[in-house]
Structure 1
């Protein structure tokens, strides 16, 4: 869904990029997706072991997203890293904003501000450009949620190889990521 204030040419640019990238994802084999997911989890687990965040905001991948074809789930793998970080998962609300719940206690909702507790945030993306502009699914959920995150908090997008691109269309409300993780490139920091 495109926000109503999005200029038509910008909306068309984002939609075309999203469509092409999602088509390329669907053309990957299950073995390619599984291999990419395993590599990404190794890189991400190394980051968590090194930085030791007490709270991670993550997500449950679906479809062809990086991290979907794993033995176990991405949040479960993050929660199992030595030091046992607390893992928060998003819950989509009716207005497309994100509430949060604890991975280990899925019954209680923590509220939209819970993301501000995270010391590391792992977000889905269809693509990210070299300046940190993130292309998502088009609902604006993560832009709203990331607006609640304290400055300096690492925000990492998980991508397949080839999805870190030179330039994406952006608007002032688009929240940037600080790094991406790709299967072959590993952790790639981006300019703030």
Structure 2
């Protein structure tokens, strides 16, 4: 049975499991074409056109691909920051200067991630970003994002709030991952927009 995004409000674990299973069924060619389309759509965003610093991430596995987007942002002259996972699930940041600046890192009990191999800039580096591109599994009509459950980006969003930073928050997803509603908690904060291979949706 395919997951179609039409849910009332299941628990987060059930929803995550269905979304991840749907991603894992995507053929490789669909993953590649979705990554190209996602980059094209994201590059149309006015926020990215004027951004001097963008905090982004390297997609892994069946996540919507970010490789083409990272290189296009650098070609535009933007400074691109990428996360490095810390032992407590917080995120440090380093600068992306091309594929050669990435190292494949295996964290205990987690998938292998591609992280910046150069100097680390500290967790607060994200507060200088004009746009933060967020991974996720779904976003709902309120702009609330469902992540994988590790809490890393909840910490990032809390850090931005404490610093008084106001970057534009954009989540990158597949079309079927824009759903009616995701389970929300008091600390959850809405994103400003979602980019999918077919377009952009903004939230108030």
Pair in the same fold by TM > 0.5: yes
The TM tier, using the shorter chain, reads 0.7 to 0.9
Name the Cα RMSD after superposition.
1.9
Secondary structure of 2:44 counterpart: helix
- Per the TM alignment, residue 151 of structure 1 is displaced from its structure 2 partner at its CA by 5.2
Tell whether 2:94 aligns with 1:101: yes
Equivalences for 1:39-50 in 2 at 5 Å? Answer: 39-47=37-45
Which segments of 5 or more consecutive residues in structure 2 lack a partner in the other structure? 1-8, 102-116
Equivalences for 1:25-174 in 2 at 5 Å? Answer: 25-47=23-45, 51-67=49-65, 73-80=68-75, 82=76, 84-104=77-97, 106-149=117-160, 150=164, 152-174=166-188
Map Cα deviations across residues 37-75 of structure 1 (whole Å, 9 max, x no partner): 11110011222686310000000000111115xxx5542
Scaled by the length of structure 1, what TM-score is found?
A: 0.84
Query: Distance between the aligned counterparts of 1:48 and 1:29, measured in 2?
Result: 31
CA distance 1:190–1:142, shift in 2 (3 Å): same
Query: Distance between the aligned counterparts of 1:51 and 1:142, measured in 2?
Result: 24
Which segments of 5 or more consecutive residues in structure 1 lack a partner in the other structure? 1-9
Paired residues in the alignment total 175
Secondary structure of 1:34 counterpart: helix
